[in-house]
Amino acid sequence: MPLNEFSLIREYFSALGESPGVALGVGDDCALLEVAAGQQLAVTVDTLVAGVHFPLNAAAGDVACRALRVNLSDLAAMGAKPRWFTLALTLPEADENWLAAFSAALAEEARTFHCALVGGDTTAGPLTISIQMMGEVPSGQALTRSGAHAGDWIYVTGSLGEGAAALQLFTPGCELSGVVRENLAQRFYRPRPRLAEGLKLRGYASAAVDISDGLLADLGHIAESSGLGAEVQLAQLPLAPWLEEVGPLEQAQVWALSGGDDYELCFTVPAEQRQAVDAMIAADDFSATCIGRMTAAPGVYCLDADGIRVTIPETGYQHF
């Protein structure tokens, strides 16, 4: 029997993942969710359009992973814990192979990140995946963009540049080796949302943002929201390994600074918390690098080893 909207939902999206607090999940007009006492609901949504945010020929499982993880990264940036999500799916056709692969990958991801699919919407049209993610954060403890002060130290987790470098994979004539390709594809389709880091930073970081548009742009959001500026030491940038095999140093720096899609956290730390944060980093609780300082004067600038401002070219928006 061909799939209709309701059999499709029942078959592929009725029970994915687990999370406490679901009084009523998929199947009614609304889901009913219990937010624990003393917690605030952190809510975010991100839409991926085929041919714009991922290549038209991307595997269904890869698309599911990316769609979920970019949303989880927003929760991480707030210091929130994933709980529930809804899925608005627009499909050109009810392709059962695509749906089976998409739903299996989404289920596995949901289990990995301890969140549950509680509802959604299914329509016909150009392939578009929109996930709305909900998480919990103790009231008043979320990491916002607006809490930084002049003199706060700027950190980034992990390493930068691979998200933008991964776009090379989709460029005709790409000559990267198999290992590098695999690594960049992982980074693109399976970015690692820094959830554990976000939770640990509650009470230590004064502001945080996840890096989806490029370090300078996203740090710019912290600066603007906090009424400040920022200075980044170019030499301190944690460039991703592999990058040197993809392009020269100057290109790698541009990818790291203005490329985007890295889904690392950029956060600020007041001087009095710096020792505690550095101790967490030294104890290998998480990987992060101090890259600069917030300034009272507005504007986000990169400085070279001599403290001279460096102009960074924009990479601009890339279509597939």
Q: Kindly identify the residues of this chain, within the stretch 117-156, that bind ligand ADP according to CB under 6 A.
A: 117, 119-122
The CB-of-147 to ligand ADP minimum distance in angstroms stands at 35
Instruction: Indicate whether 180 belongs to the interface with ligand ADP (CB under 6 A).
Output: no
Closest CA to 299 of 145, 78, 144, 150: 150
Nearer to Mg ion among residue 28 and residue 272 (C-beta)? 28
Taking the complex as a whole, how short is the minimal distance between the CB of residue 26 and ligand ADP, in angstroms? 4
CA distance 155 to 15: 39
State the minimum distance, in angstroms, from the CB of residue 7 to ligand ADP: 11
Task: Decide: is 26 part of the binding site for ligand ADP (CB under 6 A).
Answer: yes
Residue 14 or 318 with smaller CB distance to ligand ADP: 14
Q: Work out the number of other CB atoms within 10 angstroms of the CB of residue 64.
A: 25
In terms of phi and psi (left: phi > 0; alpha: psi -120 to 50; beta: otherwise), the region of 81 is: beta
Q: Which of 13, 102, 242, 263 binds ligand ADP (CB under 6 A)?
A: 13
How far apart CA 47 and CA 247 sit, in angstroms, is 30
Amino acid at 185: A
Burial class of residue 261 (count of CB atoms within 10 Å of its CB; 0-12, 13-18, 19+): buried
Minimum distance from CB of 13 to Mg ion (Å)? Answer: 16
- Pull the structure tokens for residue 84: 């529930």
Cα–Cα dist 142/157, whole Å: 18
End-to-end C-alpha distance for the chain, whole angstroms? 36
| Nearer CB in complex with ligand ADP: 87/223 | 87
Partner whose binding site includes residue 92, from ligand ADP, Mg ion, none (CB under 5 to 8 Å by kind): none
Residues from 19 through 38 that contact Mg ion (CB under 5 A): 29
CA 295 to chain centre: 26
Q: For ligand ADP, which stretch binds (CB under 6 A), given 115-123, 142-150, 209-217, 224-232?
A: 115-123
Applying CB under 6 A, which residues contact ligand ADP? Answer: 9, 13, 26-29, 87, 89, 117, 119-122
**Residue numbers at the binding site for Mg ion (CB under 5 A):** 29
